[in-house]
């Protein structure tokens, strides 16, 4: 039995996944923040490069094989724009960050993405693709949608997730059951 939960922080690029993940790790030092993009680079889990999108293609099978032992231990905060590949049995909370399309437009423009990548990400947010994937892949009770438009949202969201984590620990403590 894991002593700490595993949390996915997901959303369209530009919604604040990394900022939330890093802040959560500060608030909960027993949890480990994992940027899946960095994890893929650090462990050479690339399966090519998409020239049109200017993006690395991840070998998702190798990623899951390598990260599963860490998830079995628990205490991971996963940051990635894809959530539906992680084993449902090892995920306790899926946080889907959303941002107003006006703010997201500005954030993505500032990243100088190729036009197709920019358009795909804007479409993904407008059509709620990541939220839909999360709801289809995990028990709807563990999927929450949070807005990430400003620093107040960041702090409020992180406090909410921290409170949820504390309750999860209490609820899953074998010594109290």
Alpha-carbon distance 65 to 165, whole Å? 26
Query: CA-based Rg of the chain, rounded to a whole angstrom?
Result: 16
Query: Does 111 count as an annotated binding residue?
Result: yes
Query: Does 18 count as an annotated binding residue?
Result: yes
Residue 127 DSSP label: T
Alpha-carbon distance 34 to 22, whole Å? 9
Residue 113 DSSP label: -
Measured CA distances, 165 to 3, 17, 146 (Å): 11, 17, 16
Query: Does 21 count as an annotated binding residue?
Result: no
Which of 122, 126, 127 lies closest to 108, judged by CA? 122
Query: Does 156 count as an annotated binding residue?
Result: no
Query: Does 107 count as an annotated binding residue?
Result: no
Residues annotated in the binding site, as ranges?
14, 16-19, 111
- Binding-site residues for ATP sit at 14, 16-19, 111
């Amino acid at each position: 039995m894991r002593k700490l939960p595993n949390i996915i922080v997901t959303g369209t690029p530009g919604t604040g996944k990394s900022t939330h993940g890093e802040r959560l790790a500060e608030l909960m030092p027993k949890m480990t923040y994992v940027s899946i993009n960095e994890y893929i680079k650090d462990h050479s889990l690339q399966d090519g490069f998409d020239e049109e999108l200017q993006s690395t293609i991840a070998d998702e099978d190798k990623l899951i094989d390598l990260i599963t032992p860490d998830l079995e231990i628990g205490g991971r905060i996963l940051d990635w724009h894809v959530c539906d590949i992680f084993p449902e049995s090892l995920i306790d909370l899926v946080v889907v960050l959303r941002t107003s399309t006006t703010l997201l437009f500005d954030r993505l423009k500032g990243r100088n993405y190729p036009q197709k990548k920019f358009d795909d990400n804007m479409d993904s947010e407008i059509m709620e693709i990541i939220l839909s994937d999360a709801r289809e892949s995990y028990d709807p009770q563990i999927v929450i949608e949070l807005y990430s438009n400003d620093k107040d949202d960041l702090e409020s969201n992180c406090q909410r997730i921290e409170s949820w984590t504390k309750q999860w620990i209490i609820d899953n403590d074998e010594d109290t059951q």
